[in-house]
Structure 1
Amino acid sequence: MTGFTADLRRRVERAGGDYPPLYPAVILSASALVTAVSALQRHSADGALGWVIAGLVFALITLVLDLSLPPSSYACFGVITSTVCFLMVPVHTDAAPLQLVLMAAIGAAMYPLRTGLVVTAAAIGVLVVFGVFGGLESPALYALGVACGWLVGYMVLIQKRLADNRDRILRERADRAASDERRRIAREIHDVIAHSLSITMLNVTGARRALEQDRDVDEAVEALSDAERQGRQAMTEIRSIVHVLGAEENRKPTAPPPGAGDLGALLDDYRKAGVHISSRIDGDLAALPEPVSAALYRIAQESLANVVKHSEAKRASVSVAAGDPVTIVVSNPVTGSRPRRHDGTGIAGMTQRAALLGGHLETEHGRGTWTVRATLPARLDTCAPSPQRDGARL
């Protein structure tokens, strides 16, 4: 019994197309009820048996096809034919035309506009013919009911389209949010890995040279210790970033991301690794909003990682002004006159960070110097970029 019930439910759901199962269940039940009442009204009429059987057969065939095949307009014309059979035997206060009202509603709700109008016109045509030649009482009233049925069905169709459109918009928003989150995590992981590997490679190179050239074990051990510390720090940051992807509830709080207050430690790490950095920091970095503070740190981190990657001089200058707006300038000497190619994702990631906060970032190559200059807002109320500006930069 359970298997039969489940199979019947699946068939009813299929008969309703994209509508909830309640819609086809109500329509099929109402149609069966009207068919039964129409047959009972004619049980004692003279010569009615053949037409009643024909009406029931057409209605039953239509029901079986509804539950067996995908939705199609044949169902409407099958029921109209059944109604015609019943109308061949006129009775007082006939219920058979109510089938036409249901078919007009179904045609408007489930099929294209032209098909729905054709079904409605056919139903009204049947009523007119039997009102003139078949003795049907009040055909105009029944015709008005058919028109109202079409209107109700069309309103249901419009409501469904609006709901589908709303669902589509919500899915698109969810997809955009997921895409933005993936890009954010990719930027964070890229910045962490680029920074840690840059310093680690410098420390490992320094240790190798200390052992090969100076035979200075203590200096090599110190460089390797710094490399180990950077590796552990990178693993901790990556674990914190990836942790937000977990679905477990009641997760333990993770360490806050580094911000502008950590710039001094960042510069010291590069100095210990052998990069000569001159720096100037003006203003109160602690007063900056957290998003701006984090972006400032990441831009400095990525710019210095690029210095290690692209500059042979291993020398850079960093200037930060925590005013309104906040500015950061990182420059380093480069050899040759050709501008650097943007083959990686570092420049794009820094540009996106600045754009998402309502700021901007630009790079410049001239007179043997590569410069990264970023401008960020200093207040939270200016940290929301306009959609046009954000979309243009992303």
Structure 2
Amino acid sequence: MPESHLTLRTAAGERTTAAETDTPSTGLRPAGIRSAGRIGHLLRAVRDRAARRGVRVGLYPLRDLPFDYPPKVVLFADLAILVVGVVACLQRHEYFPTVLPLIALVLLFVSVPGYVFFGIVPRPLALCAATMVAAALFFVQPVDADFAPFVLMVAIAEIAAIAPKTVSAPMALLAAAELVVFAVLGEALWSDESLRVGVPMYALGILLGWLVGVMLQYQRLFLYQERENQNARAAQAATTERNRIAREVHDVIAHSLTVTLLHVTAARHALTSDRDVDEAVDALADAERLGRQAMADIRRTVGLLDSGPAAAGAEPGAEDIPALVDDFANAGLAVRRRLTGDLCAVSPAVGLALYRICQESLANSAKHAPGSAVDLAVEVGRRSVVVHVRNPVPGGPDSPAGGPGRQLGNGAGVAGMRHRAEGLGGRIVVGPDSDGWRVRAEFPLDAQAEGGDDDAAGAPAGGGCVLSNLLGGPRPVAESSPVYGPAPRPAS
């Protein structure tokens, strides 16, 4: 025999001859090697042909299916198909060695390996056709208490879960019609009445399977809607938080820059006009102090943007309004203030809003009406707290300096104040009046704050609000101060 006929190809692709092997060329091992070589060659040919047609052979995870169901749901549905198909096959053991039940089982379960190994996405029409053919192969071999109709129920449920109702409903009707047809044929050809007797029950099972699939599809649609709603709420919350931080930064920067510039202007006047170096140094020291305070406030506010824990720091409240007025007065702004009631009876949220409104109003007065006296009044009552800031406008309220574009009319400041007032259930009026420009805001006090007036009036001097302790307890009567400019400098 020529040597070429004795040449074998192993699984590793190496050429060997019969002389190099321990078994003769007609033994079982060379035949097995030949079979393995042919199978490998066949698999490579299938893979190459599939690649030429755009089908990539590989492992495709079930989570990549376009139906957006968890992989476990897909696996359990296919497991149900497999279990029902295996039971239907075992019921037909009397018909063996026929292969019809095995072919039906392959048709039922071909979609899973078809996707996992070749990426072929199962389509509703293909699933319906394969299931109905498999059911027909089962029905031509009738048995008692047949499990084969349950194949149609599970398959219709799968189709209803991935296809529109206009597609799945006709397929459910086709499945029910197939039951009726084979029930009639079974009784006519094989004198078998088991399927005909169970047709009503099986048809009801197909309807229930279709309803389960539709319910799963509705659940998926509701999941999509909930995701959209969550994304919308997250975007709205992020926008609200950005707006809040923007308002805080605007209030801090507007106040700090305004007061700092007033101190720098006073220092420049002291150096150029009076040649008073000590007064200029004091003004610059105040400007530096306010600048450092503003930097700390900005760091705390911008720290809210960080995902980590923000720096701890107390927000200003109503009890800090006198110190705020002192800062503007020391910077040269003439302020008449009137504080009525106990500022410590105001809640922290309302106190922060009052502080920011006073801060923004005084900053705008110093910027747009320099040299004018500002009236600031804060009245804390039993049911509400009112802040009223008013200043004359140079040239009258209708002049360019007092127009909405110049003072609080349409800027970011008035938008922030209105948002603060509306967010706490208050009311605010901003705009020109007969004598100048005014800002009036009113906030309701809760039950705790309303009762806080009486409680605070009887509180001991050593407890409660720090401001009340420094002023000798609550001030139920109005406290007013005349127009004043910079605070007197301590004697050197």
CA 1:248–1:71 in 2, change beyond 3 Å: closer, same or farther? farther
Deviation of 1:100 after TM superposition, in Å, equals 0.6
Which residue matches 2:393? 334
Instruction: Provide the TM-score with structure 1 as the length reference.
Output: 0.85
CA 1:72–1:216 in 2, change beyond 3 Å: closer, same or farther? farther
> Partners of 1:209 and 1:99 in 2: how far apart?
96
SS at match of 1:372: strand
SS at match of 1:274: coil
> Partners of 1:23 and 1:319 in 2: how far apart?
67
> Partners of 1:178 and 1:297 in 2: how far apart?
25
Kept in 1, the 8 Å contact 2:78–2:109? The answer is no
Deviation of 1:132 after TM superposition, in Å, equals 1.2
SS at match of 1:94: coil
1:14 aligns to 2:14 (yes or no): no
Kept in 1, the 8 Å contact 2:346–2:449? The answer is no
Deviation of 1:98 after TM superposition, in Å, equals 1.3
Deviation of 1:95 after TM superposition, in Å, equals 2.2
| Post-superposition CA distance 1:257-292 (Å, at most 9, x none) | 111111111111111111111111111111111111
- Aligned 1:219-368 pairs, distance under 5 A: 219-248=279-308, 254-323=312-381, 324-336=383-395, 337-338=398-399, 339-341=403-405, 342-368=409-435
1:108 to 152, 160, 171: 160
> Partners of 1:35 and 1:295 in 2: how far apart?
71
Which residue matches 2:471? none
Kept in 2, the 8 Å contact 1:14–1:70? The answer is no
CA 1:75–1:206 in 2, change beyond 3 Å: closer, same or farther? farther
CA 1:92–1:381 in 2, change beyond 3 Å: closer, same or farther? farther
| Post-superposition CA distance 1:72-126 (Å, at most 9, x none) | 3134313233222332332333222211110221223332222221221121111
| Post-superposition CA distance 1:153-173 (Å, at most 9, x none) | 333334444444444444433
Tell me how many residue pairs correspond in the alignment: 373
Deviation of 1:210 after TM superposition, in Å, equals 1.7
**Higher mean displacement: 346-355 or 147-156:** 147-156
CA 1:181–1:262 in 2, change beyond 3 Å: closer, same or farther? same
CA 1:190–1:371 in 2, change beyond 3 Å: closer, same or farther? same
| Post-superposition CA distance 1:5-27 (Å, at most 9, x none) | xx86x632234722222211100
Kept in 2, the 8 Å contact 1:192–1:237? The answer is yes
Structure exhibiting the larger radius of gyration computed from Cα positions: 2
Opposite residue 318 of structure 1, the aligned amino acid is: L
Kept in 1, the 8 Å contact 2:258–2:366? The answer is yes
Kept in 2, the 8 Å contact 1:15–1:24? The answer is no
> Partners of 2:107 and 2:84 in 1: how far apart?
14
Opposite residue 55 of structure 1, the aligned amino acid is: A
> Partners of 2:111 and 2:313 in 1: how far apart?
66
> Partners of 1:256 and 1:46 in 2: how far apart?
85
CA 1:382–1:36 in 2, change beyond 3 Å: closer, same or farther? farther
**Higher mean displacement: 40-49 or 73-82:** 40-49
> Partners of 2:313 and 2:112 in 1: how far apart?
64
CA 1:375–1:71 in 2, change beyond 3 Å: closer, same or farther? farther
> Partners of 1:40 and 1:290 in 2: how far apart?
76
Which residue matches 2:125? 74
SS at match of 1:326: strand
> Partners of 1:279 and 1:313 in 2: how far apart?
16
1:84 to 124, 136, 140: 136
SS at match of 2:262: helix
CA 1:204–1:314 in 2, change beyond 3 Å: closer, same or farther? farther
Deviation of 1:60 after TM superposition, in Å, equals 4.5
Deviation of 1:314 after TM superposition, in Å, equals 4.3
Deviation of 1:299 after TM superposition, in Å, equals 0.4
Kept in 1, the 8 Å contact 2:347–2:449? The answer is no
Structure 2 gap ranges (5+): 1-57, 188-193, 451-492
**Higher mean displacement: 351-360 or 84-93:** 84-93
Opposite residue 433 of structure 2, the aligned amino acid is: G
> Partners of 2:71 and 2:89 in 1: how far apart?
27
Structure 1 gap ranges (5+): 1-6, 384-394
Which residue matches 1:146? 206
> Partners of 1:81 and 1:207 in 2: how far apart?
97
> Partners of 1:64 and 1:284 in 2: how far apart?
78
**Higher mean displacement: 267-276 or 232-241:** 232-241
1:63 aligns to 2:130 (yes or no): no
Deviation of 1:55 after TM superposition, in Å, equals 2.5
SS at match of 1:346: helix
SS at match of 1:331: strand
Q: CA RMSD in A?
A: 2.7
SS at match of 1:334: coil
**Higher mean displacement: 227-236 or 211-220:** 211-220
| Post-superposition CA distance 1:210-251 (Å, at most 9, x none) | 2222222111111111111111111122222233444446x7
CA 1:212–1:274 in 2, change beyond 3 Å: closer, same or farther? same
> Partners of 1:258 and 1:173 in 2: how far apart?
29
Identical columns (%) = 39
1:370 aligns to 2:432 (yes or no): no
Deviation of 1:66 after TM superposition, in Å, equals 4.6
> Partners of 2:373 and 2:134 in 1: how far apart?
91
Instruction: Provide the TM-score with structure 2 as the length reference.
Output: 0.69
> Partners of 2:443 and 2:360 in 1: how far apart?
16
Which residue matches 2:453? none
1:34 aligns to 2:84 (yes or no): yes
> Partners of 2:368 and 2:447 in 1: how far apart?
35
